[in-house]
Copies of this chain bind each other. A is one copy, B any other.
Amino acid sequence: MSVDHVTVLRGEEELFGRTAHLFATASEITCAARDLNTWAATHRHPRDARQVSTPRLRKLFRPGVLLNPSTAQHVRWVSAQGAAVRITPDDINETIIIDRRFAILAGDLVDGRRDYGVVTEPTVVQNVASLFDAAWRSATDLAVYDAQHAELRALAPRVLELLASGCKDETAARTLGLGVRTYRRRVAELMTALGAESRFQAGARARDLGLI
């Protein structure tokens, strides 16, 4: 087994610099993103002139991206461009799959720079792709998800603010003019949206997504 099938690139610039040709000629791009920091630049790539048709685009996001107005706007824009957008509460790794022939897997953040592994080994790519498909199937279409959570997003910012202030549920509920039960419903919904199982984790993720 050769190691040549995996290339590690450092930072978005290098990644997109070295893989631009893949994007330009792709007919199917599939992308899972935890937040938008990672793949924010994707759409900026100029399409290759040789490119006849617009590639099929599938994007899978975590619910949290919709809570932040600016990332939510981006998601909507992507959707409006014709991409299929779905939302999943599952923990997903950041991944791009191109034509089921190349997989780009995001690694850890080091000094503000992220590593990316570009995989070309067919079997591995197929595996990654099928894992993605599973996640995709269980995810909710953006429009559907949107309809379900319209007013949650309206309330979420203030709930987050209060949670982040460290005050008790009692206090927070009064502040919002809500019953404690209802406030806690909001918190629970928020935690589900963030894929968090504890308040600590929710706090970390909320901060992670820039919601606070």
| A211: nearest chain-B partner, CB-CB | B204
Cα A165 to Cα B198 in complex, Å, equals: 8
Interface residues of A in 178-206 (CB under 8 A from B): 196-206
Indicate if the CB atoms of A166 and B207 lie closer than 8 Å.
Answer: no
- For A207, list chain B residues within 8 Å (CB): 203-205, 207-208
Cα A112 to Cα B139 in complex, Å, equals: 32
Indicate if the CB atoms of B197 and A200 lie closer than 8 Å.
Answer: no
- For A202, list chain B residues within 8 Å (CB): 200, 203
- For A201, list chain B residues within 8 Å (CB): 163-166, 203
- For A155, list chain B residues within 8 Å (CB): none
A212 within 8 A of B: yes
Contact surface of A with B, Cβ cutoff 8 Å? 163-168, 196-208, 212
